[in-house]
Amino acid sequence: MAEIIIVRDQAEAGSLAASIIIGKISSNPATVLGLATGSTPLSTYAAVAQAVRDHRIDVSGVRGFALDEYLGVPPQHPESYRSVITREVVEPLGLNPDQVFTPRGTGEHIGQAGAEYEALIAGAGGIDLQILGIGSNGHIAFNEPGSSLASPTRIKALAEQTRRDNARFFGNPDEVPTHCITQGLGTILRARQLVLLAFGANKAQAVAAALEGPVSSVVPGSVVQQHPHATVIIDEEAASTLAHAEYYRHAWRSAQELDAVGF
């Protein structure tokens, strides 16, 4: 079962998630991060960037792999995930852009891009810590409902709900791509640690289904239940439909008390 931490707001969540990431980098300067995009991880990236500046943390050896990329969108497009990762992660954190990768969404032989990305991740020794969000329909990365629980990086059609959710990043809804290339659920489960973030009442049903429902391809986010080292950080609104929220709060308080006494 994932460790579930319920916090007040995104700022607290970002600070907590950042402490996990900084701890990983401090213990391993060549940490490989799996990088999510969208609004959910922004408070985390901001807190990591602040810690890097304040404590002069060396991130020159950190490598990163984005979860996904739109199909047919060139890397220089402002809403490509290559551009988003550069703006929101590489530049604020001071990462080496040559060590941060996104799946290839353009070019010849695009059907081979998934296998190419899997090989890149394997060549880096695998992902140490994967940052995740969850969509309102339960998707993680762009693994829409029905995705195989063992799926590798591959091309997927985007659900209409996902396209509507992402329309705010484009000039009009018709500009949102219909397909993407995404890390698969099997790829995500191979990461050594997962940190999943979710905020807001619109994520509450997806969070409850992912954390307390059955593990199912209908709710791709439910695969976090199968991971041996998964931390879920959510705000009160996202936790509002959890049946066992009080237990999760108790377990987190108990864990902090044990840490305080050096157990």
- Active-site positions read 68, 137, 139, 144
| Helix or strand run (H / E) with residue 236 | none
Q: Of 50, 54, 105, 53, which Cα lies nearest the Cα of 75?
A: 105
Written as six digits, the tokens of 158 are: 């985007």
Amino acid at 60: S
Q: Which of 194, 195, 33 is nearest to 127 (CA)?
A: 33
Total number of residues shown for the chain: 263
The secondary element (H helix, E strand) that includes residue 203 is: none
What is the C-alpha to C-alpha distance for residues 107 and 105, in angstroms, rounded to an integer? 7
Which two three-digit tokens encode residue 254? Answer: 């108990």
- CA separation (Å) from 222 to 3, 139, 236? 14, 9, 20
Residue 35 host element (H or E): strand 32-35
Please work out, in degrees rounded to the nearest 5, the angle formed at the alpha carbon of residue 260 by the alpha carbons of 254 and 263.
80
Assign 87 to helix, strand or coil: helix
CB within 8 Å of 194: residues ≥ 6 apart: 2, 129, 130, 132, 188, 224, 227, 229, 230, 231
Name, in order, each residue with C-beta under 8 angstroms of 70's C-beta and a sequence gap of 6 or more.
79, 80, 81, 105, 177, 179, 180
